[in-house]
Chains A and B, each alone.
Chain A
């Protein structure tokens, strides 16, 4: 059983950072929505507020880790250029496995995974993270006093909804693209069993 370094880093980007960011936004959204239907909003203790603040900071940190690891580590591997002289439309799948972007573009049946999926996901993920950072700031800064500002609460829920949907789109396309054209290569890490 072995895997490549690039595959490992791609999984860390997508599963550790991206999925946990998505889960954190989801949890925040549910909690925000729930608070619209409470008769008497509960005030947290200092420790409770601290735990909530830590959650919000981690949510933003996970988001930034996901987008920066994606844009500056995984994406360059994804868009690696095949050697000169290779006609991507005639190269055949095997020759392009190390060049996921070109592999997808080599066939009309997979090209939209790049043209729509990757082109959208690489940008919309940043919208999710900018929105999530704003949410963390506002919720930490205002704490329980946000109940004195109902319109701020409404904006927070709207932005949390957009951040959740945006992160979901980025995550879904990321998973599907990596299934169609996995990022591979780099050092091979052997875990167990017979090596190739």
Chain B
């Protein structure tokens, strides 16, 4: 089997965009919890409630970021170490923001 030679751009775009999508999901989760009016805005599908808006917008942010970053970095070699650190921070924050006790702590509950 022949081995492909690729720059790291496509991988960097995929890694960072997935972290951005997760982070947006975490922020929206937190925000919907803090603000009931905002939570109602995210009620895209009533049987599922605000979860429908949180996840739809999180997925939309992820895919949009992926399309943009892939267009920018698709054939380039990028500073992957910086991309990785940024992605790890965003991913860690997204897990924290989705964790109810952490959100309660931020809200001072």
Contacts and interface: CB of A to CB of B under 8 A. Distances in A.
Contact of A141 (B10, B21, B55): B10
Question: Is the contact region of chain A dominated by helix, strand, or loop, or is it mixed?
Answer: helix
A154 interface: yes
Contact of A79 (B8, B17, B49, B99): B49
Interface residues of A, number: 42
A145 B3 contact: yes
Interface in A125-172: 126-127, 130-131, 133-134, 137-138, 141-146, 148-149, 151-152, 154-155, 158-159, 162, 166
B84 A123 contact: no
Contacts of B100: 115-116, 119-120
A7 B99 CA distance: 27
Contacts of A141: 6, 10-11, 14
3 tightest A-B contacts by CB?
A76-B47, A134-B18, A123-B98
Interface of B: 1, 3-6, 8, 10-12, 14-15, 17-18, 21-22, 25-26, 29, 45, 47-49, 51-52, 54-55, 58-59, 62, 80-81, 83-84, 87-88, 91, 94-95, 98-101
10 contacts: A43-B1, A44-B1, A49-B1, A122-B51, A127-B91, A127-B98, A134-B15, A134-B17, A145-B3, A152-B15
